[in-house]
Amino acid sequence: MYNAKAYSAATATSPLAQTTIARRDPTDTDVQIEILFCGICHSDLHQARNEWSGVMPTVYPCVPGHEIVGRVTKVGSGVKKFKEGDLAAVGCMVDSDGTCGECKAGLEQYCPNLILTYNFPDKHTGGVTYGGYSDSIVVDERFVLKVPEKLDLAGAAPLQCAGITTYSPMRHWGVTKGKKVGVVGLGGLGHMAVKFAHALGAHTVVFTTSPGKTDDALRLGADEVVLSKDANQMAKHAGSFDFILDAVAVAHDVNAYINMLARDGDLTMVGAPEQPLPVSVFGLLFKRRSFSGSIIGGIAETQEMLDFCGEHNITADVEVIPIQKVNEAYERMTKSDVKYRFSIDMESLKYA
Ligand code: NAP
Ligand code: ZN
């Protein structure tokens, strides 16, 4: 074991603060990574504040962070894909059983024995996993990804969660040229969804509660922008969408979006509000619509998404911050004031 510097939350109500955590020394199949950038996902805030207590209660201290890019500093003797000095990335998962049907299908995110990057049992240390708000991390090479060299690293970090979480359902539901696609909520996930829907050739419509984001939405690749509080603008799109991705972090009216789907259209939730959402079944019945959910994506698909981003030069639009500003960033996230992802420059942790 060795000591790593990190930022953690001590309780659901305490601000994140600097700490020291124990990491394992790399085993034969492990890759040790010096973390250069880590994105801030709204899931980090949900979990630091124990907002998902009903589903996955937070164990404290909690070190969030699952949008990690860095340089390999050490590899185990059996590691084949990486060598010292390589760029490497880690997303939301660090282990799975590798033997179940889900893992064999490349869908590790649905493995019953999935281990997430933080707040999950850590078989090596006996505690819980600690995430990327840290100077380093040690991960089995099966869960380490290759980052295209040409991508800006601060903007590439968020691809590991915001990127794959929006790319995967769009691929699953066949987003392509000729389809009309909606994106609800222009935050970290939403702005990546717009970039992907546009790159895949779909007619892309953004639904936002923030009038000030209209120009950005168009610049990011949207064909149309709808202010969701304006009933007239909303009514124009009734029954017209093939697919809508909802990336809102708080409770809101999903029925308004279900009613915007065409026959056989699908609304996928990737946003994970703390509270249950009421669904009007009649909205589903009459046009054989579906209402579904999706989490992240498998490792092979995450690599496919990273390669797609390399080809299309896609990264997140980031505001780079030092780790000392993480609590301020969380507050701004609760006010939808992020353009469009915070990316922590981990160099700042050296001077903490
Ligand atoms: P974020 O950057 O905070 O974006 C959320 C966006 O939701 C805001 O920017 C805002 O967009 C919109 N919004 C906020 N308050 C709203 C309200 N009252 N009514 C309607 N819209 C509102 O969050 P994020 O990091 O993208 O994460 C979004 C959600 O996805 C979180 O719940 C997160 O935990 C979840 N998530 C799920 C997965 C998965 O695998 N399924 C992965 C990562 C994250 P506008 O200003 O445009 O309205
Ligand atoms: Zn995330």
Q: Hey, CA dihedral for 218, 222, 223, 224, is it positive or negative? A: negative
Place of tokens 């991705």: 245
* Rg for the chain, CA atoms, rounded: 20
Sign of CA dihedral 205, 210, 212, 213: negative
- Does the beta carbon of 249 lie inside 6 Å of ligand 1? yes
Question: Rounded distance, CA 261 to CA 297, Å?
Answer: 24
Q: Rounded to the nearest 5°, which phi and psi values hold at 161?
A: -125, -65
| pLDDT at residue 331, as a whole number | 98
- Ligand 2 center to 30 CA (angstroms): 23
Instruction: Using the predicted structure, report yes or no on whether residue 340 has a pLDDT greater than 90.
Output: yes
Q: How confident is the model at residue 351 (pLDDT cuts 50, 70, 90)?
A: confident
Amino acid at 319: E
As a whole number, mean pLDDT of residues 119-124 equals 98
Q: Is the pLDDT of residue 272 over 90?
A: yes
| Ligand 1 lined by 269 (C-beta under 6 Å) | no
* 77: number of Cβ within 10 Å: 8
Tens digits of residue pLDDT in 49-67: 999 999 999 999 999 999 9
Give pTM, 2 decimals.
Answer: 0.98
Under DSSP, the state recorded for 94 is E
Ligand 1: which of 116, 160, 209 to mutate, judged by most atoms within 8 Å of the beta carbon? Answer: 209
